[in-house]
């Protein structure tokens, strides 16, 4: 400083750690893998996946294939196609990137679109006289979205993890209804939740508290929506 030498030996001075090309490539691959996991495990997939498992991996698989396809088609349209299309158009109209869309203040309209679409799905399922224990999946998802939207005014909760928690809660609920041992499926979805939660932190969309809070909200909704409402 000002041409004067310091008394700190060079070997004791702090140096920014140098990262080799190998480290940078590893970080890039990890980030890319986390983005892929986040995209594949999108929150909109949960109701459809839950219906698919219920209709094809329980005693309900004896139902006619045409009936199962109609139910899956309705669920797909209202819980995946319409919300994702609406959010995509909203994003493009505002010129936002996916990262910008993840900002807490900008998530209100996507939440409202999803809530309206889920409510329409629930009404449609009611009109085709779907059994209560099946439509409870959409009820749980709707409650989860409403709670996440309300919490979002103060805290950016993870809807990805809320969906994972809802799968775990729904699995526990159906194990009581159908009287089966859910341990194998529970292990799978809990491991998936850990993988997805890590991915959301790696892509810098959420903190550990937001990930954990989202999972607990989803777990609560999965149990309440299917067993008690």
Distance in angstroms (rounded) separating the CA atoms of residues 106 and 100: 8
Q: Where are the domains of the chain?
A: 46-228
Distance in angstroms (rounded) separating the CA atoms of residues 191 and 211: 14
41 and 192 in contact (C-beta within 8 Å)?
yes
222 and 173 in contact (C-beta within 8 Å)?
yes
pLDDT value at residue 101? 72
104 and 210 in contact (C-beta within 8 Å)?
no
pLDDT value at residue 16? 44
pLDDT value at residue 67? 92
Spans of the chain, pLDDT less than 70? 1-27, 98-99, 102
Collapsing DSSP to helix, strand or coil, 87 comes out as helix
């Amino acid at each position: 400083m000002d041409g004067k030498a310091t008394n700190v030996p060079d070997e004791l001075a702090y140096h920014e750690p140098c990262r080799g090309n190998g480290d940078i490539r590893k970080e890039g691959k990890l980030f890319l893998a986390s983005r892929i996991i986040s995209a594949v495990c999108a929150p909109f997939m949960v109701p459809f996946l839950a219906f698919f498992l219920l209709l094809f991996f329980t005693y309900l698989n004896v139902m006619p294939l045409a009936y199962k396809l109609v139910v899956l088609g309705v669920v797909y349209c209202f819980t995946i196609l319409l919300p994702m299309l609406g959010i995509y158009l909203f994003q493009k109209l505002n010129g936002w990137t996916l990262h910008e869309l993840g900002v807490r203040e900008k998530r209100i309209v996507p939440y409202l679109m999803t809530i309206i679409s889920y409510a329409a799905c629930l009404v449609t399922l009611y009109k085709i006289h779907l059994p209560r224990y099946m439509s409870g999946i959409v009820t749980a998802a709707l409650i989860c979205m409403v709670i996440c939207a309300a919490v979002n005014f103060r805290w950016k909760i993870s809807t990805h993890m809320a969906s994972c928690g809802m799968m775990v809660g729904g699995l526990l609920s159906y194990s009581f209804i159908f009287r089966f041992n859910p341990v194998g499926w529970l292990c799978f979805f809990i491991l998936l939740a850990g993988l997805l939660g890590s991915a959301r932190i790696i892509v810098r969309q959420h903190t550990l508290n937001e990930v954990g809070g989202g999972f607990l909200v989803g777990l609560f909704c999965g149990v309440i929506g299917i067993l008690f409402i």
